[in-house]
Structure 1
Amino acid sequence: MKHPIRLLAAAALALSLTACSKVTADNYNKLKSGMTYEEVRAILGKPDNCSDLLAARSCTWGDEKSYINVSFVGDQAVLFHSENIR
């Protein structure tokens, strides 16, 4: 009888983690050109992936199916792109 309880607890935890995702259309609409990396991070949380090249940085929040990508130059957001966010 303990196994169904564990299964329900694991399902509830997984659901709560996905419900907390900051990769949403509302948060995407809060992004503005000229925001700093820290300002964007305050809205979206820690990025899942970043790559740096000279003075440019590109960061992605989410996964390959649903994501927000922000490109920064000199610590200012210049380009935004999203896929399959709600």
Structure 2
Amino acid sequence: MCGYGWGNGWNSGWGGGGILMTVLMVVLLVAVIVAIIFAVRYLSGSGSSHHRGGPGLEGMRAEDRLADRFARGEIDEDEFRKRMTLLREHR
């Protein structure tokens, strides 16, 4: 018997196409959210070191790192001079 109620007839329930469409909609929604996050990060400048005012520690030369540590007080003058001499000798 083909009625119009829930679970009766050929077109009731989700079926194979409905499940596929649901999965595709979830994937599309996730892709839109990820695109929005990347756009906000790109426009705000938090995604790369070029927008933050210079290279990070990875982009610094060894001499610059050493000078930075000396300026912050992590090493004293004697240690700074010894290490700078070693760096210049082993270029």
TM-score in same-fold range (> 0.5): no
TM-score, normalised with respect to structure 2 = 0.33
Higher strand share: 1
Larger gyration radius, structure 1 or structure 2:
2
Please report the TM-score for the alignment, with normalisation by the length of structure 1.
0.34
